[in-house]
């Protein structure tokens, strides 16, 4: 297993303000980043995401790119695998909000399934 896979968000997205859930319109979106992380999850010890050049990200983008990873991986796995070495306070806050919201959604879905 290789040591580290690096993702430069600005280079991949081509903008300082990444937005959008899906890349259906042709340009990269949140699902682009999520798929890239998934493809490399088992190949590397850690996945580092760099935000240099990124000013702001929309909530749907952050949820799609990072929050939805929790549908396939536990929060512990997420925290052990993903690194955000240059994330500023604003980015960390955005990531934390997306993760909390996605965990609530997953919990609600599980409760509904168990009641059905």
Burial 60-77 (b: 16+ CB within 10 A, else e): bbbbbbbbbbbeebeeee
The domain ranges of the chain are: 2-115
pLDDT in tens, 48-96: 999 999 999 999 999 999 999 999 999 999 999 999 999 999 999 999 9
Q: Cα angle at 59 between 65 and 82, to 5 degrees?
A: 35
pTM equals 0.94
Question: At 10, is the pLDDT very low, low, confident or very high (cuts 50, 70, 90)?
Answer: very high
Please answer whether residues 47 and 41 qualify as being in contact, where contact means their C-beta atoms are separated by less than 8 angstroms.
yes
């Amino acid at each position: 297993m290789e040591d580290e896979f690096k993702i430069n968000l600005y280079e991949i997205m081509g903008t300082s303000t990444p937005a959008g859930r899906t890349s259906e319109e042709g340009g990269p979106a949140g699902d682009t980043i999520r798929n890239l992380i998934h493809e490399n999850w088992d190949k590397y010890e850690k996945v580092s995401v760099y935000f240099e050049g990124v000013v702001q990200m929309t909530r749907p983008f952050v949820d799609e790119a990072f929050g939805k990873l929790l549908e396939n991986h536990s929060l512990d796995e997420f925290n052990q695998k993903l690194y955000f070495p240059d994330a500023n306070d604003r980015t960390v806050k955005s990531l934390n909000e997306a993760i909390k919201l996605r965990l609530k959604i997953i919990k609600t879905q599980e409760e509904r399934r168990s009641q059905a």
